[in-house]
Structure 1
């Protein structure tokens, strides 16, 4: 069994103070895709991921972004960025090749820009256009990466914080958020365009086809966590062969507000390999 997790930690040093080590000891993932490390490489707490091998793309924005992959087995290759010049330096994508008991898989960790609306009182057209350019470039890259992995005899998995709730089942308050960033029609259409039975499969939705959620992000403010009024914006998107091996998975939601490590919950899937 191969247990793979994605976790936006909202700052690795803060996550350590809140108990990420206890979660790792309990969950025992083989590979973890991490987003929003928010730390210079030299300031990442020593052994915060235990004995896992850490690959880190910290980016050039102090205190922001930063993506990583932590794994029990060392990667055979690591790649930083995906060829989008405007964001590759920001620490938004890292990818590595792994061989686990003879099973080959390419794994990516992505942190998609939050974006903004293009019209209305809170609009920021520049941020809106920036996210849409990122998405267009990333869609083309995902096709190349998936095909490259297949030619090398590996499955492909991209995980992370996509900052998009794909369907009404992925957002509790979808009726009041139809003009909000993260649930705009064009963002949701982009998400639909990268999925398919021969391309990429939303693994957790496949495991929970009729569920509301399971949500992976809740605001720190108000009662959204207590009321489970969240968003599902953290995903495992897998090549069809890997998705077919998923046997269980979902979010590791903290038992209480006080026990939260981040405003996101880890998304964990067991793959039979």
Structure 2
């Protein structure tokens, strides 16, 4: 039995070293801490963790919000919304954001210990992404211990096109398709950006891993009630077609699906309402998308549905163990 550098356990009989990597939409770092996020962070023994929806500016972060990890953080400029971070056991070799700056913190850093550093991107930002520069939706780091670039994304939720909006069926007021158009513009720009940044990583001898809340269920296996959601944002044909175009055996691979082929789930998001969680009526919208060589190294993938009987968020962490030696 071999353990990872941070204490995670590989399957019995393994002769490998493991890198444990997780993605989690915490839906507010302060709320997640109240539900036990600190305990999960300490006990899960991950080497790298991508977080979305931090929902706190630097001066509003709880003390020691990111435990014993180094943190690279992009809060964005919208108080109480968005915000992404990558936690690592060693300081990252490089950090990049769309805004050109990032906040870095040492293990157990408090709000006053974070320092702003230049974090210029290495590829041109697609025009469709420029309206999102200050929203805190993307951060990218080069790991120091292995040749891997890790990107963390919080993709806009979006909405329905105007012709599908029915006020009696909507929780939000009809908007004439504004949120839909905004998301589709983001997808168009991000698809081009993703090609360039993936190729840039490979040109430097690094594998590439995109993680985060994509707000799209890719296939009918990725949500419990797919027939009833065919005209629901997050499962629209055009969103799924976009997802199709990002994946191929030569570009990016859906790692969890490669480990769990032809099965329903494992879901990573459930509504707080009703019995959705208890009945596992969920959506799989939180992903690890990796370059093929890295994807082939995945030896285990699982969703931490709850921690000590408590949900940390409306999302649950998606944890993958990768072979590194």
Of 57, 63, 75, the match for 1:40: 57
Q: Give the Cα–Cα distance (whole angstroms) in 2 for the partners of residues 134 and 255 of structure 1.
A: 33
**What does the per-residue CA deviation read over 1:39-94, in whole Å, with 9 as the maximum and x for residues that have no partner?**
01122122222120111111111111001111101111111127221112100001
Assess if the C-alpha contact under 8 Å between 2:97 and 2:138 holds in 1. yes
| Residue 186 of structure 1 pairs with residue 203 of structure 2 | no
Partner residue of 2:143?
98
Of 233, 245, 265, the match for 2:316: 265
Partner residue of 1:108?
151
Partner residue of 2:130?
85
| Residue 4 of structure 1 pairs with residue 25 of structure 2 | no
Q: Give the Cα–Cα distance (whole angstroms) in 1 for the partners of residues 261 and 133 of structure 2.
A: 34
Partner residue of 1:16?
33
Q: Give the Cα–Cα distance (whole angstroms) in 1 for the partners of residues 147 and 91 of structure 2.
A: 12
Aligned residues: 270
2:135 match: secondary structure:
coil
2:274 match: secondary structure:
coil
Question: Once the 2 structures are TM-superposed, how far is the Cα of residue 255 of structure 1 from its aligned partner?
Answer: 6.3
TM-score (normalizing by structure 2): 0.81
- Unpaired runs of at least 5, structure 1: none
Q: Give the Cα–Cα distance (whole angstroms) in 2 for the partners of residues 46 and 15 of structure 1.
A: 14
TM-score (normalizing by structure 1): 0.96
Q: Give the Cα–Cα distance (whole angstroms) in 2 for the partners of residues 145 and 128 of structure 1.
A: 25
Question: Once the 2 structures are TM-superposed, how far is the Cα of residue 13 of structure 1 from its aligned partner?
Answer: 0.5
Question: Once the 2 structures are TM-superposed, how far is the Cα of residue 138 of structure 1 from its aligned partner?
Answer: 0.7
**What does the per-residue CA deviation read over 1:221-257, in whole Å, with 9 as the maximum and x for residues that have no partner?**
100000000000000000011101100012111168x
The 4+ residue runs of structure 1 with deviation greater than 4 A are none
* C-alpha RMSD over aligned residues: 1.2
- Unpaired runs of at least 5, structure 2: 1-17, 99-120
